[in-house]
């Protein structure tokens, strides 16, 4: 049986690491595409040199041409500029919007049947833009944000409680950024709610560390930003889609009334399968939680408006 085909657009740290994980785990043949000549080809060749060591069967091919991505099952969009000193959030928004528009046009023309998984920041707005530009149904376009944020929350909880990772289920919703909404009441340690395991002041500290998780990595690296955990989060979502697992993962998905939120992409638990977003899993939120989620969604809506994507 042939492997599914996954295209990863952007051969930077996140894209290349995701590509390597996809082939080394035996999940898919990968096409790694980038505008920089030689970069995706060189990284792909390096990965293939590890084939006899890791003993994986799928292949990874580097290219600068969307023609090589034809027939992809999933297109993962990691291409984009990082925020640089002196660059405002609006500057980043405008620059990456142009990149995402170009990527989506090329990817959809080559693979009209593909699902699109957006990773480019600002994540929630770029996912909305990818949907608008693609002309695809909302369930076939989604973003990676909540899986990564939830992973960071789980790590913080494990460090605090000294419990194994397998005993922890963490949930983070909302925007992928400072407006994210950790959900301690819905996160568990050995089946017990986090709020029943850790006192309130420590719960608040864990939520704050989660929100600062990406910035904490950046501050330590001095240059660049996180890529191992983001890439692993991408692969977790791709695995759910290709395996048609219907697993509920915190994903950046289009809401059309769930939680009282409409016409915005925001991270909430959603079931993923071969058709993309199978369904949104509505949690039982209290008034404080629903207000925080709606406020977070409002920050995304404001950026969507700033790009002129509505109307």
3-state helix, strand, coil in the chain (%, to 5): 50, 20, 30
Rg (CA), the chain: 19
89 has a pLDDT exceeding 70: no
DSSP 167: G
Does 208 sit behind a cis peptide bond, omega within 30 degrees of 0 on the bond before it? no
Compute φ and ψ for 46, nearest 5 degrees: -60, -45
Portions of the chain given CATH number 3.90.110.10: 146-306
Of residues 311 and 218, more confidently modeled: 218
The model's confidence at residue 223, banded by pLDDT at 50, 70 and 90, is: confident
The model's confidence at residue 91, banded by pLDDT at 50, 70 and 90, is: confident
62 has a pLDDT exceeding 80: yes
Portions of the chain given CATH number 3.40.50.720: 5-143
Mean pLDDT of 38-66: 98
Q: How many CB atoms lie within 10 A of CB 190?
A: 12
Mean pLDDT, the chain, whole residue set: 96
The model's confidence at residue 182, banded by pLDDT at 50, 70 and 90, is: very high
Mention every residue, 6+ apart, whose C-beta is less than 8 A from residue 222.
none
pLDDT at 22: 98
CATH class of 146-306: alpha beta
What is the CATH code of the structural domain delimited by 5-143?
3.40.50.720
Compute φ and ψ for 248, nearest 5 degrees: -90, 115
pLDDT at 242: 98
Q: Is 49 labeled as catalytic in the residue annotation?
A: no
Residue-wise pLDDT for 229-259, tens only, equals 999 999 999 999 999 999 999 999 999 999 9
Q: Which of 43, 83, 152, 176 is catalytic?
A: 176
pLDDT at 125: 96
Q: Where are the beta strands (DSSP E) in 257-309?
A: 262-273, 276-280
The model's confidence at residue 88, banded by pLDDT at 50, 70 and 90, is: low
Mean pLDDT of 73-87: 86
85 has a pLDDT exceeding 80: no
The model's confidence at residue 311, banded by pLDDT at 50, 70 and 90, is: low
84 has a pLDDT exceeding 90: no
């Amino acid at each position: 049986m042939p492997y599914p085909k996954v295209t990863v657009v952007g051969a930077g740290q996140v894209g290349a690491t995701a590509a390597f994980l996809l082939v080394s785990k035996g999940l898919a043949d990968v096409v790694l595409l980038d505008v920089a000549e030689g970069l995706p080809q060189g990284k792909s060749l390096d990965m293939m040199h590890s084939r006899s060591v890791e003993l994986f069967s799928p292949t990874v091919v580097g290219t600068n041409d969307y023609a090589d991505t034809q027939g992809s099952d999933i297109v993962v969009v990691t291409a984009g500029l990082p925020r640089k000193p002196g660059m405002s959030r609006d500057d980043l928004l405008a620059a990456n919007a142009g990149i995402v528009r170009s990527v989506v046009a090329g990817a959809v023309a080559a693979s009209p049947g593909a699902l699109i998984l957006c990773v480019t920041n600002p994540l929630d707005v770029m996912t909305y833009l990818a949907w608008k530009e693609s002309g695809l149904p909302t369930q076939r376009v989604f973003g990676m944000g909540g899986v990564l944020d939830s992973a960071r929350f789980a790590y913080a909880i494990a460090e605090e409680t000294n419990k194994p990772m397998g005993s922890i289920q963490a949930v983070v919703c909302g925007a992928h950024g400072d407006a994210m909404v950790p959900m301690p009441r819905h996160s568990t340690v050995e089946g017990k709610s986090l709020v029943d395991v850790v006192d309130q002041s420590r719960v608040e500290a864990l939520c704050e560390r989660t929100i600062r998780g990406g910035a904490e990595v950046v501050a330590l690296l001095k240059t660049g930003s996180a890529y191992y955990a983001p890439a692993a989060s991408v692969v977790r979502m791709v695995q759910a889609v290709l395996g048609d697992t219907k697993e509920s993962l915190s994903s950046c998905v289009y809401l059309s009334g769930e939680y009282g939120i409409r016409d915005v992409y925001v991270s909430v638990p959603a079931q993923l399968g071969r058709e993309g977003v199978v369904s949104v899993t509505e949690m039982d939120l209290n008034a404080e939680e629903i207000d925080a989620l709606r406020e977070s969604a409002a920050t995304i809506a404001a950026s969507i408006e700033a790009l002129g994507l509505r109307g």
